[in-house]
């Protein structure tokens, strides 16, 4: 694989229907396996129908490890009770959450050289 292709790679982790105390350890391990320095990872929650506090904790552990490795994670497609669990726990404010995998990919792509990156100075 060429170096340019390696830079473009984005791993996608599909979460199971239940992310709870019985599955959170294997979910955490699969997400951690996708991490590495500078990795870009999409965690797709479209199949998740139930998430417990143990599931939220697994996501938080992986987010912390990603920060240590300068990796980027975008969580996407959570709905129903799983999305409510993230919202009520307050973790939805810590996670980068996209509505779809397409939106997640766009967030993880590097910005082209010369693209605007925001204001140069604070307004005022």
Domain coordinates of the chain in residue numbers? 12-108
What is the model's pTM?
0.78
Quick one: pLDDT band at residue 43, thresholds 50, 70, 90? very high
Q: What is the pLDDT of residues 85-108, one digit of tens each?
A: 878 877 777 788 888 999 999 999
CATH 3.40.50.450 fits 12-108, yes or no: no
Quick one: pLDDT band at residue 1, thresholds 50, 70, 90? very low
Report long-range pairs for 24-30 (Cβ below 8 Å, ≥24 apart). Answer: 24/52, 24/54, 24/55, 24/57, 24/58, 25/58, 27/55, 27/58, 28/58, 28/61, 28/62
The answer to whether 104 and 42 are in contact (CB under 8 A) is: yes
């Amino acid at each position: 694989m060429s170096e340019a292709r390696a830079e473009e790679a984005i791993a996608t982790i599909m979460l199971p229907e239940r992310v709870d105390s019985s599955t959170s350890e294997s979910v955490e391990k699969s997400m951690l396996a996708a991490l590495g320095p500078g990795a870009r990872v999409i965690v797709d929650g479209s199949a998740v129908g139930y998430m417990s506090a143990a599931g939220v904790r697994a996501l938080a552990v992986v987010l912390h490890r990603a920060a240590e490795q300068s990796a980027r994670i975008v969580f996407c497609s959570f709905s129903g009770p799983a999305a409510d669990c993230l919202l009520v726990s307050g973790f939805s404010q810590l996670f980068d959450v996209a509505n779809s995998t397409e939106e997640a990919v766009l967030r993880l792509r590097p910005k082209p050289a010369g693209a605007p990156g925001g204001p140069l100075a604070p307004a005022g």
